[in-house]
Amino acid sequence: MDKTEQKIMDAAIKVFARKGYDGATTRKIAEAAGVNEVTLFRKFQSKENILRAVITRNREVILKTLDSVLQIEKEEDIKTSLHTLGRSLLEVMRERVNIMVILIAEGRRDPEVAVILESVIKIIVVRISEYFETQLKNGKIRNINPRTASLTFLSYICHMSQLRGVISEDILSNPEEEFDGFIDIFLNGILNAEDN
């Protein structure tokens, strides 16, 4: 991929995330990239092709990144492992928030995009579920459904990464503290120990 194609794709990510596929135009993408619209068409032929290129390229990057992030240390204590994993996933999502917005929004419109989004989510859910299964077998956690625990954990990560920058600081004033609170609630629940 040459520099011009990369500039167009970077601009397209921002425009698609802000305007959605239907609201984005090749003219807006070209302007954001600082290129002529003719150049955009010469490189990609259509808005649909730009979207496909953006999604395909970023899917590979996300999967590679997730592969290293999802190496959960099974010997560490659970709180440390989940804290490290959660922070790493939040960072990946923060770095790729525009791509995630595009995948979610366009996944509703385009079945092919939905398949790509599902493949990314599935990898995360399976790996975290495997971690919880191991902890369950080792007697470290109570008898829960590992998949449900995985989905619950991932739901917080996904929602917080998407809400950051959208909701006011009144609600999310200290993300670090909020995350620590989530880990505590996730691991210990909300009931007092004597009420369990």
Structural domain that includes position 187 = 52-195
User: Do 103 and 189 belong to one domain?
Assistant: yes
Per-residue pLDDT of the chain (196 residues; tens, 9 = 90+): 799 999 999 999 999 988 988 999 999 999 999 999 999 999 999 999 999 899 888 888 888 887 777 777 666 788 888 888 888 888 888 888 888 888 888 888 889 889 988 988 898 899 899 999 999 998 989 999 999 999 999 999 888 877 766 666 667 677 788 889 999 999 988 877 666 5
User: Do 35 and 99 belong to one domain?
Assistant: no
Beta strands in the chain (DSSP E): none
User: Do 38 and 57 belong to one domain?
Assistant: no
Q: What CATH number corresponds to the domain at position 109? A: 1.10.357.10
Q: In sequence order, what are the residues at sequence separation of 6 or more whose Cβ sits closer than 8 angstroms to the Cβ of residue 17?
A: 97, 98, 99, 101, 102
Give the global pTM: 0.78
User: Do 38 and 74 belong to one domain?
Assistant: no
User: Do 11 and 105 belong to one domain?
Assistant: no
Q: In sequence order, what are the residues at sequence separation of 6 or more whose Cβ sits closer than 8 angstroms to the Cβ of residue 103?
A: 55, 113, 116, 117, 120
Pairwise CA distance, residues 154 & 38, whole Å: 42
User: Do 73 and 99 belong to one domain?
Assistant: yes
User: Do 151 and 57 belong to one domain?
Assistant: yes
Torsion angle (degrees, nearest 10) of CA 187, 127, 60, 116? -90
User: Do 84 and 99 belong to one domain?
Assistant: yes
User: Do 107 and 170 belong to one domain?
Assistant: yes
User: What Cα–Cα distance (Å) separates residue 22 from each residue in 15, 67, 86?
Assistant: 11, 32, 33
Please say whether the dihedral angle defined by the alpha carbons of residues 41, 44, 45 and 49, taken in this order, is positive or negative. Answer: negative
User: Do 36 and 61 belong to one domain?
Assistant: no
User: Do 29 and 77 belong to one domain?
Assistant: no
User: Do 185 and 150 belong to one domain?
Assistant: yes
